[in-house]
Homo-oligomer: A and B are copies of this chain.
Amino acid sequence: MMPDAESVVGSTRAGNRAPEAARARAGESKSVWELASRAKRASGDLARASSAVKEKALRIAAGLLEKDADRLLAANAGDLAQAEADGVAPAALDRLRLDGGRISSMAEGLRDVAALADPVGEVVDGWVRPNGLRIERVRVPLGVIGIIYENRPNVTADAAGLCLKSGNAAALRGSSTALRSNRAIVEVLRKALSESGLSADCVVLVDDVSREAAATFMQLNGLVDCLIPRGGPSLIASVMENATVPVVIDGDGNCHVYVDRDADLEMAGSILVNAKMQRPGVCNAAESLVVHSDVAEAFLPAAAEALSGVELVGDDEACRILPGIGRANAEDFGREYLALKMSVAVVPSLDAAISHINSYGTGHSEAIVTRNVAAAERFLHEVDAAAVLVNASTRLVDGGQLGLGAEIGISTQKLHARGPMGLRELTCVKWIIRGDGQLRQ
């Protein structure tokens, strides 16, 4: 019934080759070029598809994910069995695992994205020139967005959903560990696209899981308009090293909570515990506590007790106040633990706190707890990070919590997108200029 959707992704049948495939250089993966070329061709129509059609595709996909849950679980079981046989670590196995609840979450995620406002066509601004030229800047899709990610199959549906809603074709490259699961999910997405009257090639999955294919995937200049890595430091480093296409980095978070001299120490304690412990393994979790020396004696012992189960390492002063903890060196202060471990620095001033954070932070999310408005304002303006918070937990810095509806990641770069990236960050602007014969004088 749906030959286009069924034949799926990754096929290298000669009869299907895009002309662009010829552009692949020696040593590059031709199948990757082919797939990206197909996505590029599909992206033109998708960019002009109505919100109604895109919404329909996402809702159909959500329904099919639930309906095909058994097939998805069977595919995932294959991945899990292989991963277990290969000795994959338990935490990675957990990320790989699908169950009924996770499939429902993927489906609900697609429905949530379907319900969001469409960023495409939004008039960002506009004006009229003295010569009568009428100018508008309008949001348009980027084109083809490449997503390279690790072994969480839900990224396949989540990322593709955000790309489609924002009018972009998605070229996906997950890890080999999750290949069966990803194939099954992409089949569902492609079927939903075809049923909605869109090209199935609006979503393609690179199923060549060789390193060569990954490198090619990062160098699809002219086919991929933006590459977004979703994963840990080694993936990010590989993208930084190899990518030649434009990249938006979903970066590390060495996030700090600074407890000011004028902090409400009770509030500071609850923010600290939430920032560190509510979910330690994610980028907006706090990794370092910075305390003003005037309140260190009063705050640290209670804080250490509240952070029960968290290994602390500190500077000289922290170790004096908390004799049981380990000594922290510069490397400890620079580390994103993503675990129940935290560095502690005692500083003599707000200046020292800001300087410490600007030295060791990764420009992600930084919080101050204070009742002092001048301290708050200085912190907000002098700390160089994507997000700065006063009297709130760093864990609140994500697209859902901040009201973007959904996010594709959190950027720690400054160009294009900074901080949580929602649908708008998957678009660019186009200048639309209307005249009646205007010339350059």
Contact = CB atoms under 8 A, between A and B. Distances in A.
B439 A271 contact: yes
A295 to B, nearest CB: 17
Interface stretch (A85-93, A127-135, A300-308, A342-350): A127-135
Given A142-B414, A414-B225, A391 B434 contact: yes
A380 interface: yes
Given A395-B439, A396-B433, A433-B397, A381 B48 contact: yes
A352 to B, nearest CB: 15
B431 A387 contact: yes
Contact of A403 (B135, B142, B401): B135
A267 interface: yes
Contact of A428 (B387, B391, B418): B418
B402 A433 contact: yes
Given A396-B133, A414-B226, A436-B391, A127 B403 contact: yes
Contacts of A385: 430
Contacts of A137: 419
Interface of A: 44, 48, 127, 129, 133, 135, 137, 142-143, 225-226, 240, 244, 246, 248, 264, 267, 270-271, 274, 278-279, 376, 380-382, 384-393, 395-397, 401-403, 413-416, 418-420, 428-440
18 contacts: A143-B414, A246-B413, A246-B415, A274-B439, A278-B439, A278-B440, A376-B434, A387-B432, A387-B433, A389-B435, A391-B434, A392-B435, A396-B435, A396-B438, A414-B428, A415-B416, A415-B428, A418-B431
